[in-house]
């Protein structure tokens, strides 16, 4: 469920987010409900249970709780939700409101993901975030007081002139809060962002490869000591508290994407997949939904081998790697036997481990994850 509105567009952001101070929430809610009804009646999704719901953004914590409640209620009617479904809402600290957080909880949100990014005032200013470190910490406490027992903090490293000590200072402050889950991503200068344009004219001093790698390994080491499991390359959770929704992406499950710029995917009968992306501008999205019930802007199909390669790439991001039996059931061949020539060299160099049940990256292999995935199939 994509909520594409933000109070300010951060210069590094390449998400489908739009600066709107007063979005037309009523129209957006109606469009989301129409689109949800549309997809739940399609042959590929009709009658299937929802395993998780994720309100992402943008800034979903700008949305009136009544909108969130209306969407969850609609999903309960038109899709059927598993009793213990994980229902996450992304919140930005600059928009944390105790009344709203309580109302989100009552509406059915049972997991909150807070976009902290850094706990250093100058880094947050550089990122153009609208919050400071104190607000980020306050947002966390507001969430706890509102009854949230499953909280993720998003953090970012590899910022200009940041050194290992700076990053670990933020990481330790976050660990002290004791969230259930932490996502730690390295900043990337994405094309077509304001940051990419300014960086091209006058480059920022970003950490060199060696420093960035020390941040990557430092993150793993310090979170391991704090009893978080690195269940995915950039995601860490206390036991049993992995994000089920994101795990669904890495496991290549089907999903419905609702909202401006959202995308969805389903497996097709020829063992490939089909996926779609919606119109990105919120106002055009609303207009299109009103006229045709969906807002598909583009759609593509992948044949079996393309889909299998994508599933490999995603599966190798997970600590437990690719389940050989599930993969074979899904695509009709065993990944290790089929791609033996490509995978054997990684295996001999101890970057890749193979058992009867799975194929996964070793600790040594994590740094070359993309190269391993690219060599498959």
36, 78 Cβ separation under 8 angstroms: yes
Give the strand order in the sheet containing 111-117.
2-3, 50-57, 81-91, 111-117, 151-157, 181-186, 235-237, 229-232
Measured from the CB atom, the residue of 124 and 151 that comes closer to ligand SF4 is 124
Measured from the CB atom, the residue of 8 and 328 that comes closer to ligand SF4 is 8
Concatenating the DSSP letter of every residue in 165-210 gives HHHHHHHHHHHHH--SEEEEEE----TTSHHHHHHHHS---PPPHH
Report the distance separating Cα 336 and Cα 268, nearest Å: 23
Q: How far is the CB of 4 from ligand SF4 (least distance, A)?
A: 8
List interacting residues with ligand SF4 (CB under 6 A): 6, 9-10, 13, 15, 17, 57-59, 92, 115
Counting Cα atoms < 13 Å in the Cβ hemisphere of 191 gives 0
Measured from the CB atom, the residue of 57 and 65 that comes closer to ligand SF4 is 57
Q: How far is the CB of 224 from ligand SF4 (least distance, A)?
A: 28
Helices (H), 277-361: 282-292, 304-315, 324-331, 335-338, 340-348
Q: How far is the CB of 93 from ligand SF4 (least distance, A)?
A: 10
Report the distance separating Cα 164 and Cα 223, nearest Å: 15
Q: How far is the CB of 153 from ligand SF4 (least distance, A)?
A: 14
Q: How far is the CB of 92 from ligand SF4 (least distance, A)?
A: 5
Measured from the CB atom, the residue of 94 and 315 that comes closer to ligand SF4 is 94
Measured from the CB atom, the residue of 93 and 365 that comes closer to ligand SF4 is 93
Report the distance separating Cα 348 and Cα 352, nearest Å: 8
Question: Shortest Cβ contact with ligand SF4: which residue?
Answer: 13
Report the distance separating Cα 360 and Cα 134, nearest Å: 40
Measured from the CB atom, the residue of 34 and 61 that comes closer to ligand SF4 is 61
Burial of 334 (0-12, 13-18, 19+ CB in 10 A): middle
Relative to beta strand 263-267, strand 273-278 is: antiparallel
Report the distance separating Cα 339 and Cα 344, nearest Å: 8
Q: How far is the CB of 377 from ligand SF4 (least distance, A)?
A: 33
State the CB neighbour count (10 A cutoff) for residue 317. Answer: 20
Measured from the CB atom, the residue of 58 and 282 that comes closer to ligand SF4 is 58
Q: How far is the CB of 143 from ligand SF4 (least distance, A)?
A: 17
Measured from the CB atom, the residue of 15 and 333 that comes closer to ligand SF4 is 15
Q: How far is the CB of 359 from ligand SF4 (least distance, A)?
A: 34
């Amino acid at each position: 469920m994509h909520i594409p509105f933000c109070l300010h567009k951060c210069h590094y952001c390449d998400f489908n987010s739009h600066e709107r101070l007063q979005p037309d929430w009523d129209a957006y809610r109606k469009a989301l409900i129409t689109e949800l009804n549309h997809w739940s009646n399609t042959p590929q999704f009709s009658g299937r249970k929802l395993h998780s719901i994720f309100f992402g953004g943008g800034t979903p914590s700008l949305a009136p709780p009544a909108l969130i409640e209306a969407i969850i209620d609609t999903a309960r009617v038109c899709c059927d939700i598993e009793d213990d479904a994980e229902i996450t809402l992304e919140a930005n600290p600059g928009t944390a409101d105790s009344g709203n957080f309580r109302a989100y909880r009552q509406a059915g949100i049972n997991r909150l993901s807070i976009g902290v990014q850094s706990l250093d005032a100058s880094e947050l200013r550089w990122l153009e975030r609208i919050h400071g470190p104190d607000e980020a910490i306050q947002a966390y406490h507001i969430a706890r007081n509102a009854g949230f027992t499953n909280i993720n903090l998003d953090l970012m490293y590899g910022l200009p002139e940041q050194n290992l000590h700076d990053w670990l200072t933020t990481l330790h402050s976050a660990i002290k809060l004791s969230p259930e889950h932490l996502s730690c991503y390295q900043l990337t200068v994405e094309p077509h962002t304001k940051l990419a344009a300014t960086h091209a004219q006058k480059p920022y001093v970003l950490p060199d490869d060696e420093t960035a790698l020390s941040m990557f390994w430092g993150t793993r080491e310090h979170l391991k000591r704090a009893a978080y499991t690195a269940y995915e390359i950039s995601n860490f959770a206390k036991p049993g508290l992995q994000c089920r929704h994101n795990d669904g992406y890495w496991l290549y499950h089907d999903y419905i994407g609702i909202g401006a710029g959202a995308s969805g995917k389903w497996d097709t009968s020829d063992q490939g997949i089909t996926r779609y992306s919606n119109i990105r501008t919120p106002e055009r999205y609303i207009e299109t939904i009103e006229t045709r019930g969906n807002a598909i802007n583009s759609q593509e199909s992948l044949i079996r081998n393309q889909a299998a390669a994508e599933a490999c790439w995603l599966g190798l991001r997970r600590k437990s790697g690719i389940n050989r039996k599930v993969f074979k059931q899904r695509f009709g061949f065993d990944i290790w036997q089929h791609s033996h020539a490509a995978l054997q060299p990684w295996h001999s160099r101890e970057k890749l481990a193979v058992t009867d049940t799975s194929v996964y990256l070793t600790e040594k292999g994590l740094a070359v994850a993309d190269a391993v995935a690219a060599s498959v199939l």
